[in-house]
């Protein structure tokens, strides 16, 4: 359980390009925050800095009480879901979900119990023996969601997780993500969600609040209702 706070965060890429220009934002514990904006506005760069996949040039990122600037991804209490699923092709769904937990040295029993629980929530129990190559995109993304879930992270990070799915799977997987957030809350495991998309429907249906970015700056942060109401 943790707030995520960005304090004057800047990103200058090695080629000198300033992609993120001083972002200040607090995402409350348990909140579902969506970053939207056109391609190139720095959604992904910002998310990757929170994840620890991209260095922070200036400013600080706090997750809970911890300043995470110099922490590797595995020590940040985060789990990330990617556009391309990022599953290991030679491992079964079960092994993909278990992999990170084995590295954390959890007991076989605890690993099995977490995977069982996540698989039931996401309705993927029948897929656990399959390899990613034997699954549809929607099924793969549910496995990736399961892999994030079993880590019981304080913060879930999503980088355009629905963009590779066709229209029908996009809706059903979106519903799974919304349910995941809802279920975790109901179980008292308040996870903070940070979700990047260029799709306004996803932003409106998933976000408690939406942060609109343009050219590496925040243009507006508000609830979907306030943001998209017409005068």
Q: How far is the CB of 82 from ligand ADP (least distance, A)?
A: 9
- The interaxial angle of helices 108-122 and 167-186, nearest 10 deg, is 120
CB-nearer residue toward ligand ADP: 42 or 145 = 42
Q: Which of residues 17 and 230 has its CB atom nearest to ligand ADP in the complex? A: 17
Please say whether the dihedral angle defined by the alpha carbons of residues 17, 19, 21 and 22, taken in this order, is positive or negative: negative
Tell me if 92 contacts ligand ADP by CB under 6 A. Answer: no
List the x/- string, 15-54, binding to ligand ADP by CB under 6 A. Answer: x-x-x-----------------x-xxxxxxx---------
Q: How far apart are CA 11 and CA 3, in angstroms?
A: 21
For ligand ADP, give the closer residue by CB, 80 or 184. 80
CA nearest 31: which of 155, 203, 186, 145?
A: 155
Of the pair 45, 139, the CB lying nearest ligand ADP is at 45
Contacts of 45 (CB under 8 A, 6+ apart): 11, 19, 20, 54, 216
For ligand ADP, give the closer residue by CB, 37 or 138.
Answer: 37
- Cα-based distances in Å from 101 to 11, 93, 114, 188, 225: 32, 14, 10, 21, 39
Instruction: Give 217's strand partners.
Output: 214
The span from the CA of 126 to the CA of 72, in Å, is 34
Residue 13 engages ligand ADP in binding (rule: CB under 6 A): yes
The whole-angstrom separation of Cα 139 and Cα 80 is 17
Name the residue nearer to ligand ADP (CB basis): 115 or 194: 194
Q: How far is the CB of 215 from ligand ADP (least distance, A)?
A: 8
Q: Using the rule CB under 6 A, give the single segment among 14-22, 72-80, 172-180, 187-195 that binds ligand ADP.
A: 14-22
Nearer to ligand ADP, 15 or 229 (CB): 15
**CA separation for the pair 162, 81 (Å, rounded):** 10
For residue 81, state whether it binds ligand ADP (rule: CB under 6 A).
no
Nearest residue relative to ligand ADP (C-beta) = 44
Using the rule CB under 6 A, is 107 a contact of ligand ADP?
A: no
Q: How many residues bind ligand ADP (CB under 6 A)?
A: 12
| Residue 3 φ/ψ, nearest 5 degrees | -70, 155
Q: What residue ranges bind ligand ADP (CB under 6 A)? A: 13, 15, 17, 19, 37, 39-45
């Amino acid at each position: 359980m943790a707030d995520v706070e960005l304090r004057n965060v800047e990103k200058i890429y090695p080629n000198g390009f300033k992609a993120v220009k001083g972002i200040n934002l607090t995402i409350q514990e348990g909140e579902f925050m969506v970053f939207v904006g056109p391609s190139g506005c720095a959604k992904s760069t910002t998310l990757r800095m929170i994840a620890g996949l991209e260095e922070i040039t200036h400013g600080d990122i706090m997750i809970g009480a911890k300043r995470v600037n110099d922490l590797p991804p595995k020590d940040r209490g985060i789990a990330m879901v990617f556009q391309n699923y990022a599953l290991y092709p030679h491992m079964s769904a079960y092994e993909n979900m278990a992999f990170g937990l084995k590295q954390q040295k959890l007991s076989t029993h605890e690993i099995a119990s977490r995977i069982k629980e996540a698989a039931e929530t996401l309705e993927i129990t029948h897929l656990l023996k399959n390899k990613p190559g034997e699954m549809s995109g929607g099924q793969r993304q549910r496995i990736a969601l399961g892999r994030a879930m079993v880590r019981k992270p304080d913060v879930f990070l999503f980088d355009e997780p629905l963009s590779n799915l066709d229209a029908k799977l996009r809706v059903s997987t979106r519903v799974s993500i919304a349910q995941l957030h809802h279920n975790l809350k109901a179980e008292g495991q308040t996870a903070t969600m940070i979700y990047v998309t260029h799709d306004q429907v996803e932003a409106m249906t998933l976000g408690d609040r939406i942060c609109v970015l343009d050219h590496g700056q925040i243009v507006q942060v508000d609830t979907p209702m306030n943001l998209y109401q017409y005068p």
